[in-house]
């Protein structure tokens, strides 16, 4: 499955931060994303309980993971905390909108989901998360 390969490569080459807690959660996040993509492939864009559950699982895990990051950012007075938290909210909102679009059987949801998730992992996790990792290093966390 092409989507799975893309996300596995992102994990292997880009997403690791060096902070075990965050890396462990990023790995789970990629696994949850891959499960969602597999559910897309198995359901052929039909409305199903599996797809609703897959979107719900992704949103719940993202919320948990973002809470972990935001707690650490707050603890160490990360200078871009407010902006970073806003980016988290925008991403959750984007996934929620895609889940609603799926339920409404709008076209190209699988492709739009892959694009959003890829963009998020590359632009946010790789670029933005690396900035707070630097803050944590400076405070002796890693």
pLDDT tens for 65-108 read: 999 999 989 988 898 999 999 999 999 999 999 999 988 888 88
SS3 content of the chain, % helix, strand, coil (to 5): 80, 0, 20
CATH topology of domain 2-137: 1.20.120
More confident call, 3 vs 23: 23
Task: Kindly calculate the radius of gyration of the chain based on its CA atoms and give it in whole angstroms.
Answer: 16
pLDDT classification of 7: cutoffs 50, 70, 90? low
What are the pLDDT digits (tens) for 22-49? 888 888 888 888 888 888 878 755 557 7
Is 8 a residue whose pLDDT tops 80? no
For the chain, the structural domain boundaries read 2-137
């Amino acid at each position: 499955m092409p989507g799975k390969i893309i996300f596995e490569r992102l994990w292997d080459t880009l997403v690791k931060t060096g902070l075990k807690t965050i890396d462990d959660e990023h790995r789970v996040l990629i696994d949850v994303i891959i499960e969602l993509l597999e559910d897309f492939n198995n359901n052929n864009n039909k409305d199903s309980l599996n797809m609703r559950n897959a979107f719900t699982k992704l949103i719940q895990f993202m919320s948990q993971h973002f809470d972990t990051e935001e707690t650490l950012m707050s603890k160490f007075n990360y200078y871009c905390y407010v902006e970073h938290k806003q980016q988290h909210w925008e991403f959750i909102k984007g996934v929620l909108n895609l889940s609603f679009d799926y339920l409404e059987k709008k076209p190209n949801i699988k492709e739009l989901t892959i694009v959003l998730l890829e963009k998020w992992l590359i632009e946010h996790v790789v670029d933005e998360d690396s900035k707070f990792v630097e803050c944590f290093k400076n405070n002796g966390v890693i």
